[in-house]
A and B are shown apart, each in its own frame.
Chain A
Amino acid sequence: KAGVTQTPRYLIKTRGQQVTLSCSPISGHRSVSWYQQTPGQGLQFLFEYFSETQRNKGNFPGRFSGRQFSNSRSEMNVSTLELGDSALYLCASSYTTGGQNTEAFFGQGTRLTVV
């Protein structure tokens, strides 16, 4: 069974630009979560989608958005990039039973550098 796939692996963007990151979950997983990882703040939760609906959202500005498609693939978008958005963005997928997620499986991440 294929794992969680994130594309692209690396991105370099300029301040003020926008970026879209993609995540394909494990087959059969309907929950997709996104995390931002930085040396200073550690792993921070961005949002979680289940069946195309955002179920939960972390404490990030509105420049960070996401969506989920009917095939459970998810994208996250960051608009008006700032230097502080440079980070490793991790996507995780989970199998859900009774509305509750089981363990999360993570992708390799997308390394975003804003210059």
Chain B
Amino acid sequence: AQSVTQPDIHITVSEGASLELRCNYSYGATPYLFWYVQSPGQGLQLLLKYFSGDTLVQGIKGFEAEFKRSQSSFNLRKPSVHWSDAAEYFCAVGTSGRGSTLGRLYFGRGTQLTVWP
């Protein structure tokens, strides 16, 4: 069955420090991978996506992520964090299959990011 694991529930970093949020997935074929960000009481904003091709993808707000098939991972990175990056981050997997997986995303439980000034 498809699943997504975000091992870190809460991460705290200082402003200007680098950031890496971890994401591991379970899916038998090549997945479609996404990172979303959510501010309190708001919807989800798409940061970046991976469908195929170059395994290092660039997103908005200076974020990037790398797809590593051998590790079933899609970690999110940012070289220098800003206070405005404080939010909750969700990794999600979409599938190319049919049937019960069609049209849905599988989400991790999220990582809450706190940024110290």
Residues of A within 8 A of B (CB): 4, 6, 31, 33, 35, 42-43, 45, 48, 50, 55-56, 58, 88, 90, 92, 94, 100-109, 111
Task: Report how far A42 CA is from B106 CA in the complex, Å.
Answer: 11
- Are the CB atoms of A31 and B103 closer together than 8 Å? yes
Residues of B within 8 A of A (CB): 32, 34, 36, 41-46, 49, 51, 90, 94, 96, 100-110
User: Interface residues of A: mostly helix, strand, loop or mixed?
Assistant: strand
- Are the CB atoms of B102 and A106 closer together than 8 Å? no
- Are the CB atoms of B104 and A58 closer together than 8 Å? yes
Closest to A107 in B: B43
- Are the CB atoms of A90 and B43 closer together than 8 Å? yes
> B94 — which chain A residues lie within 8 A by C-beta?
101, 104
Q: Which of A55, A90, A104, A108 contacts B102, CB < 8 Å?
A: A55
- Are the CB atoms of A103 and B110 closer together than 8 Å? no
Instruction: List 9 A-B pairs, minimum CB-CB distance, nearest first.
Output: A48-B103, A43-B107, A106-B44, A106-B43, A108-B43, A45-B104, A42-B109, A56-B103, A103-B49
